[in-house]
Amino acid sequence: MTKRDKDLLLKNNLKKGTNLVAVRSHNERLVLQLVREQGALTKADATRATGLSANAISVLFRALEEDGLLLRDKPIRGKIGQPSTPLRINPEARHYATLKIGRRSLELAVVNFAGEIVSLAHQPQPFPTPDKTLAFVRNELSNVLRAARKSRKSISAMAIASPNELWSWTEEFGAPREEMEAWRTFDLVRALEDIVPWEVLVENDATAACRAELLFGTHADKQNWIYFYVGTFIGGGVVLNGNIYTGSRGNAGGFGPMRVPDQAGGNRLVDHASLVVLERMISAQGGQPFDIYDETQDWQPYETLVGPWISDAGRNLAHATVSALSVLDFESVVIDGALPAQVKDRLVAEVREQLEETDLQGVHMPEIEAGTLGHRARTLGAAATLISAEYVNELNSIGA
């Protein structure tokens, strides 16, 4: 990115600060957001982007540096005046424990302040239960901490990324209803109190993935966008004015039940743009349906099925996009998922092509982009939930 491009980006996404000392915490979050979005930021850049005085920015930078949240980069030497020194996020400032509960796998990780996975344990499964989840944490926690070279005291907090109402939709992914029903009355946070010493937050897994894409992804030039995450079931999130919008019950962006035109297979988005659909196709031909969740697999052995699945999923994601655009004028659609990179790119291209052939009268064609985090989005999303709670100004996160 050229300096001119960077200046335009900062100008277009001007985030207003205030020079009042009483709200320094707001301004510190503001500066941290800008540094995270830009990768590194000089005091001059921060002054232009926030509208704060040069002195206020100097005070903020100094405080954040003294707290260990920011690190100095190498000075940028120009032809005139003193060299400017960009500051960047300090990865070692905080470390978080994260637990992803997926319908086909569990993950326990240590994630640093820069959104990098330091260590990770992964366990495939046909379906999750409370007992299996607790056993996984008990068995892997010490290993994950040891691999990260972190003690329990050096972990700031823990977050869980999990689907809402795990006891629902069991027939759709072949899980025994009686075993999944145990989730209805199970208090996972309380159960974890006997295993971990940290405060534990819980976030919907697709919303968490959207948080990770917002915080650690490459969409700083966008303020309003929707996010589709293609997992066992389709899910997603909503970004408004640069912030996650969760809705009054925390379900905003739960795109699975969104209606699509009547067709074979069902009239909900979840009936077409979900990996469980591809699972069934593979199983019907005598293959191993869980192979698609193996990150070492490129899905090439199932290409005769993958192509039709992409076509069907892309067409219905396009329908869902038009429905979403009719409610809010989103500028972009970001598509990610537990997919091989080349499959994700094909799906993005399919959605774009379908939209180009769709009647868009009354709405505007959005940008269609690929997400950047893939399989790890939900695990990183748990850390993003913790970082956002403490270090991000989120005006739209409550469902007002």
Distance in angstroms (rounded) separating the CA atoms of residues 180 and 127: 8
Q: 3-state DSSP call for residue 275? A: helix
The strand pairing partners of 160, in sequence order, are 99, 202
Same domain, 289 and 247: yes
Same domain, 84 and 182: no
Same domain, 236 and 170: no
pLDDT of 3 > 70? The answer is: no
Residue 137 lies in a domain: yes
pLDDT of 202 > 90? The answer is: yes
The arithmetic mean of pLDDT across residues 161-178, rounded, is 91
Same domain, 316 and 283: yes
Q: Between 17 and 261, whose confidence is greater?
A: 261
Task: Using a cut of 0.75, tell me whether the model's pTM lies above it.
Answer: yes
pLDDT of 197 > 80? The answer is: yes
Strand-pair category, 117-124 with 234-240: unpaired
The arithmetic mean of pLDDT across residues 151-179, rounded, is 94
pLDDT of residue 395: 62
pLDDT tens, position by position, 352-387: 999 999 999 999 999 999 999 999 999 999 999 999
Strand-pair category, 332-337 with 243-245: unpaired
CA dihedral sign of residues 286, 290, 296, 302: positive
The arithmetic mean of pLDDT across residues 56-73, rounded, is 94
The arithmetic mean of pLDDT across residues 154-170, rounded, is 94
Q: Is 41 exposed, middle or buried (0-12, 13-18, 19+ CB in 10 A)?
A: buried
Same domain, 168 and 241: no
The beta-carbon contacts of 322-327 under 8 Å, at least 24 apart in sequence, are 322/355, 322/358, 322/360, 322/363, 323/258, 323/259, 324/226, 324/255, 325/363, 325/364, 325/366, 326/362, 326/363
What CATH number is associated with residue 33? 1.10.10.10
Residue 194 lies in a domain: yes
Residue 90 near residue 115 (C-beta atoms within 8 A): no
pLDDT of 388 > 50? The answer is: yes
pLDDT of 396 > 70? The answer is: no
Residue 233 lies in a domain: yes
pLDDT of 40 > 80? The answer is: yes
Same domain, 296 and 189: no
Q: Where are the alpha helices (DSSP H) in 51-119?
A: 54-66
The strand pairing partners of 235, in sequence order, are 229
Phi, psi of 201 (to 5 degrees): -110, 155
Residue 293 lies in a domain: yes
pLDDT of residue 188: 95
Residue 213 lies in a domain: no
List of residues 6+ apart from 78 with CB closer than 8 A: 84
Same domain, 123 and 83: no
pLDDT of residue 248: 85
pLDDT of residue 11: 43
pLDDT tens, position by position, 293-334: 999 888 999 999 999 999 999 999 999 999 999 999 999 999
332-337 sheet: strands from edge to edge: 243-245, 234-240, 225-230, 332-337, 367-370
CA dihedral sign of residues 193, 196, 202, 205: negative
Residue 234 near residue 133 (C-beta atoms within 8 A): no
Same domain, 317 and 227: yes
pLDDT of 198 > 60? The answer is: yes
pLDDT of residue 143: 98
The arithmetic mean of pLDDT across residues 225-250, rounded, is 94
Place of tokens 């408004």: 240
pLDDT of residue 250: 82
Among 37, 59, 89, residue at a domain's last position: 89
The arithmetic mean of pLDDT across residues 23-30, rounded, is 78
Among 69, 89, 109, residue at a domain's last position: 89
The arithmetic mean of pLDDT across residues 198-214, rounded, is 96
The arithmetic mean of pLDDT across residues 236-243, rounded, is 95
Candidate from 22-36, 105-119, 133-147, 209-223 with smallest mean pLDDT: 22-36
Tokens coding 305: 């099925």
pLDDT of 10 > 70? The answer is: no
Q: How confident is the model at residue 220 (pLDDT cuts 50, 70, 90)?
A: confident
Among 89, 118, 148, residue at a domain's last position: 89
Same domain, 198 and 321: no
Residue 398 lies in a domain: no
Same domain, 84 and 101: no
pLDDT tens, position by position, 127-157: 999 999 999 999 999 999 999 999 999 999 9
Q: How confident is the model at residue 169 (pLDDT cuts 50, 70, 90)?
A: confident
What CATH number is associated with residue 194? 3.30.420.40
Same domain, 27 and 133: no
Residue 395 lies in a domain: no
Q: Please state the domain count of the chain.
A: 3
pLDDT of residue 79: 54
Q: How confident is the model at residue 28 (pLDDT cuts 50, 70, 90)?
A: very high
Q: How confident is the model at residue 83 (pLDDT cuts 50, 70, 90)?
A: low
Q: Which domain holds residue 59?
A: 3-89
Same domain, 253 and 366: yes
The arithmetic mean of pLDDT across residues 180-196, rounded, is 95
Residue 255 lies in a domain: yes
The single-letter code of the amino acid at 369 is E
Q: In 10 A of CB 102, how many CB atoms?
A: 24
